[in-house]
Amino acid sequence: MKIAFVSSGRSIHVKKLANALVNNGHDVTLFTLPNHTDLINQFNKKVKIIVLKFGGKIGYYLNVPTLRKKLITGKFDLINCHYISGYGTLTRLANVHPIVASVFGSDVYDYPYRSKQNMARIIKNLNSARIITSTSQVMVDKVQEYYKNRKPIYVTHFGIDTNLFKPLPVDSSESEKNAFVFGIVKKIEDKYGVGLLIEAFNEFIKNDSEKKCKLIIYGKGSKENEYIELVKKLNMQEYIHFRGYINNEKVPQVLHKINVVCLPSILDSESFGVAAVEAMACAKPLIVSNASGFTEVVDSSCAIIIPKNDKKALVDAMERCYQMEKNQLYEMGQNGYNRAVRMFDFSRNIETYINSLTKAVIDERN
């Protein structure tokens, strides 16, 4: 298939999908805004990349004539937009079909509820699509709360590369300096509960200052400096360490330095818990919030599930993990590994995605 992606060039998930499609023999061209080009150098060289002229929110409107012309002359089999808000609007206005609309998270959880105009825009964008794909069943349920058209929505999990994300030998996964390490690999934003995690870890340590524990935080985001200052205010620099952004390919190496991965997201726009799946595939026990994206991918055999935005529950979960015997933590990790390989192997998930795109093409021709 010849596929046009109208999507963000800074999304790791868009990159992953585009690369997988060309590796499966498909022709992919990415159309992206100039302020969304952070990861374009990491795309497979077979992916053609066209950076549109106008950036920012206005770019979703000003780029319409250029995009329409290129989509028509390119003779694509289908147009696949990711994020139904901005890129969905750009794709709808370009009015070249068939369209596959892929919803990702905040575009259906947050954006529609900010104004009546946003909700109306989302409905129009969904109406313009031949089919809709979603990264999780919980997000399908969310879309169907306000989108009453009976158009099919296909669940196409992100999945993970189980050749990259896998358990390492025990002697390769020792915790840092013999400390018990809690950790998170995530964007440093409020919605992901990073501030909550810092405050909870502070209380966890203050309950017993003799604990040999650390919290390591990998990632970058708009709240990074604020949280660094919070750690200083709490006088926790000895225990809490920020390690910055790392490429996804290096995440397994980091995960194997962590005893328990903590993902206390405070909003349901955590639509699919890919960070949890990555940790599971590396056989790491988890503490996660009951954000809907996590409850779809984990169960109680591999994770301690706590209420969203509940600091006391997070402190108690940390204490529980710290007191566990090694064999208990090992069993949790193995349960997670088995679940990740069985349900979220990307090589199988991409087949589902390709089948969804193919169906859109066939339906359009019929």
pLDDT along the chain (366 residues), means of 10: 97 93 97 96 96 97 98 97 96 97 89 94 96 91 89 88 83 58 94 96 88 93 96 95 91 93 87 89 96 90 96 97 95 96 90 92 84
Q: Looking at the structure, tell me whether residues 179 and 308 fall in a common domain.
A: yes
Q: Looking at the structure, tell me whether residues 106 and 229 fall in a common domain.
A: no
Give the chain's length.
366
Q: Looking at the structure, tell me whether residues 197 and 184 fall in a common domain.
A: yes
pTM comes to 0.80
Q: Which structural domain, as residue segments, surrounds residue 81? A: 2-159+346-365
What pLDDT sits at residue 174?
Answer: 44
What pLDDT sits at residue 171?
Answer: 41
Four-CA torsion 218, 38, 56, 243, nearest 10 degrees: 20
- Residue 215: in which H helix or E strand, if any? strand 213-218
The alpha helices in the chain, defined as continuous H runs, are: 12-23, 59-62, 64-74, 86-94, 106-109, 116-127, 137-146, 194-206, 224-233, 251-255, 274-281, 292-297, 311-323, 326-343, 346-365
Q: Which residues of 1-29 are buried (b: 16+ CB within 10 A; e: fewer)?
A: bebbbbbbbebebbbbbbbbbbeeebbbb
What pLDDT sits at residue 176?
Answer: 53
Q: With helix as H, strand as E and coil as C, how does 244-255 read?
A: ECCCHHHHHHHH
What pLDDT sits at residue 185?
Answer: 96
Q: Looking at the structure, tell me whether residues 92 and 131 fall in a common domain.
A: yes
Q: Looking at the structure, tell me whether residues 239 and 328 fall in a common domain.
A: yes
Secondary-structure breakdown of the chain: helix, strand, coil percentages, each rounded to the nearest 5: 50, 15, 35
Q: Looking at the structure, tell me whether residues 91 and 33 fall in a common domain.
A: yes
Q: Looking at the structure, tell me whether residues 183 and 319 fall in a common domain.
A: yes
- Give 162's DSSP letter: T
Q: Looking at the structure, tell me whether residues 22 and 119 fall in a common domain.
A: yes
Q: Looking at the structure, tell me whether residues 100 and 205 fall in a common domain.
A: no
Give the whole-angstrom CA distance, residue 120 versus residue 297: 31
Q: Looking at the structure, tell me whether residues 257 and 146 fall in a common domain.
A: no
Position 64 in a domain: yes
Position 164 in a domain: no
C-beta separation of 305 from 289 below 8 A: yes
Partners of 155 in beta bridges: 134
291: amino acid identity, one letter: A
Work out the number of other CB atoms within 10 angstroms of the CB of residue 279. 34
- What is the domain count for the chain? 2
Give the whole-angstrom CA distance, residue 90 versus residue 97: 13
- Ramachandran region, residue 75 (left: φ > 0; alpha: ψ -120 to 50; beta: rest): left
Q: Looking at the structure, tell me whether residues 77 and 154 fall in a common domain.
A: yes
Q: Looking at the structure, tell me whether residues 56 and 78 fall in a common domain.
A: yes
Give the whole-angstrom CA distance, residue 217 versus residue 204: 16
What pLDDT sits at residue 177?
Answer: 59
Contacts of residue 46, defined as CB under 8 A and 6 or more positions apart, other chains included, come to 22, 28
What pLDDT sits at residue 173?
Answer: 43
